[in-house]
Structure formats: C-alpha cells, structure tokens
Amino acid sequence: MRRINAWLIIGIIGVCVFGYNFGIQYGRAMFGPKDMWWTPKAMALPLEQTSQEFELFVNDELLQSRIKQGTLLAIDREGKTYPVVSEDVSVRLNNWHKIKASFLHSAAFTALLLGISLMSLIIGAIQCFGNKMFVNKPDAGDA
C-alpha cells in the first residue's frame, strides 16, 4: 500500500486553494464589471483635484483656463447667462484601471503560490507513485 506523503498533500491543498483564488482574481480583472467603479456622484471631485487624471479642453484651451478667464458661460433655468466658476464643475472618475491593477496584483501573487503548489504536487506524485518507475530492475539475464 502506498503512503501519501506531505508533498502530495500540500500540493493538492495548495492547488485547490490557490488555483481557485487565482481564477477568481484573474476572472474579476478580465471579465468583471467595468462600469461600477465610478466615483459616487455625492463624492464628485472638484476640477482642480483631477488634473493628474485628465485634462479637458474647450476650443483647444484648457477648461481650467477658460474658467479663470471667465470666458466659459452657462445658462440658468430662467435663461440668464453667467460665467462658469470652478464650483460649478465637478468630476466623477472611473477607477476601473486602479481596481483592475489591484486584482491583477493579487492574481500575480496567487499565481506564484499556485506554481509552488503545483511543484509540490508533482514532487509528491513522483515520490508516491513514481518510485517503482525509477528503481533499477534486474534484467532477466542477470539472475
């Protein structure tokens, strides 16, 4: 009767746990919902805080410059025009790229652990089931 060794047990458990975790993290990064990671409307950012994320141009001029110059106008509900100020503009950002990077970072770490578990599984399987394959058998002519 063959005895199951520690390498094989560690490999089986590791492949199941880390393989499942890797599949979940990678699947979320590749096939997860991309449109639910927007900044909530109640927490929309002022235009000044988003200059590292993007730049918005109106007639080839930066939106912030148009607002500072007072050349950007809006119409209120009564039909009166007024210059747009920075408080009138808020920005919602799609943070999917940051979330996806986080998922892929977790998946990469889990893939490392999955690789270690696969090696443990292979070593354990060879030790448990392959010993007879590697033992020198005497030839019939040697007897």
**pLDDT confidence of 3, banded at 50, 70, 90?**
confident
For residue 17, pLDDT over 90 is answered with yes
pLDDT digits (tens, 9 = 90+) for 41-94: 999 999 888 888 888 898 899 998 999 998 899 999 999 999 999 888 999 999
pLDDT of residue 51: 84
For residue 98, pLDDT over 70 is answered with yes
Cβ burial, residue 52 (10 Å; 0-12/13-18/19+): exposed
Which has more confidence, 88 or 130?
88
Q: Give the count of beta carbons closer than 10 Å to the beta carbon of residue 51.
A: 11
Whole-structure pTM value: 0.67
Q: Stretch 22-45: mean pLDDT, rounded? A: 92
CATH number of 1-38+94-134: 1.20.20
Contact 72, 88 (CB under 8 A): no
The residue extents of the domains of the chain are 1-38+94-134, 40-93
Least confident of 18-32, 60-74, 129-143: 129-143
Q: Give the count of beta carbons closer than 10 Å to the beta carbon of residue 25.
A: 21
Half-sphere exposure of 127 (CA within 13 A, CB side): 14
